[in-house]
Amino acid sequence: MNKALLADGDEWWPVPSPFGQLVVAGDDAELHYLWLPGGPNPGTLATTGAHRGRPSSVAKAEEQLRAYFAGDLTQFDLPLGPRGTEWQRKVWRALEEIPFGETRSYGDIARRAGNPLAYRAVGMANNRNPIALIIPCHRVIGADGSLTGYGGGLPLKERLLAHERAVLARRH
């Protein structure tokens, strides 16, 4: 886990998922980080360390993640505090507007973030997304509809998109 992404006082906690163990970190006010299985190694924070008590942002994230994976939640409602540049935060806000089960291209997100030619910069911001899944960078695809890079790996991206499509199909 990149400690630079964590705020002072953050507590990290493992959260089980059908795709492997997630790790979330935050404080009582906001969630700051979500590590995906298959992503960059979260290091020793995921397996050692003392917890002072589960922060409310982490408890809410765990509850909502369980509901998401059960197919009962299609929109997260969590206080988020991702740390990044102004551009990255613009991109991440645009990602949060992608509806559950839908995808958008890097160009779509660049236009939404106010710079239509910055599709490569959108890719870099996606790569730096510290709260993957909740800030749904897995819903961003190539202009030709192909799956492109994902911090948790393309197989996980494909499984998350398939999960969302299946949930929508069951509801209709």
pLDDT tens-digit series, residues 40-92: 555 544 444 445 667 889 999 999 999 999 999 999 999 999 999 999 999 99
| Whole-number Å distance between alpha carbons of 47 and 128 | 23
Are 64 and 92 a contacting pair, CB within 8 Å?
no
Coil, strand, or helix at residue 104?
Answer: strand
Q: Band the pLDDT of 8: cuts 50, 70, 90.
A: low
Assess whether pLDDT exceeds 80 at residue 101: yes
Q: Find, among 107, 72, 102, the residue nearest to 91 by Cα.
A: 107
pLDDT value of position 9: 60
pLDDT value of position 10: 66
Examine the residue annotation and report whether 137 is marked as an active-site residue of this protein: yes
As a whole number, mean pLDDT of residues 121-128 equals 94
pLDDT value of position 77: 96
| Whole-number Å distance between alpha carbons of 132 and 138 | 8
The secondary structure element, H or E, covering residue 34 is strand 31-35
Map out the domains of the chain as residue ranges: 3-70, 86-171
Q: Band the pLDDT of 172: cuts 50, 70, 90.
A: confident
Q: Which residue is catalytic, options 6, 58, 137, 160? A: 137
Q: Find, among 168, 156, 159, the residue nearest to 74 by Cα.
A: 168
- Which CATH number applies to 3-70? 3.30.160
Assess whether pLDDT exceeds 90 at residue 151: no
Q: Band the pLDDT of 165: cuts 50, 70, 90.
A: very high
Q: Which residues contact 24 (CB under 8 A, 6 or more apart)?
A: 12, 13, 15, 31, 33, 34, 35, 58, 61, 62, 65
Selected residue with higher pLDDT from 157 and 44: 157
| Whole-number Å distance between alpha carbons of 147 and 35 | 20
CATH 1.10.40.30 fits 86-171, yes or no: no
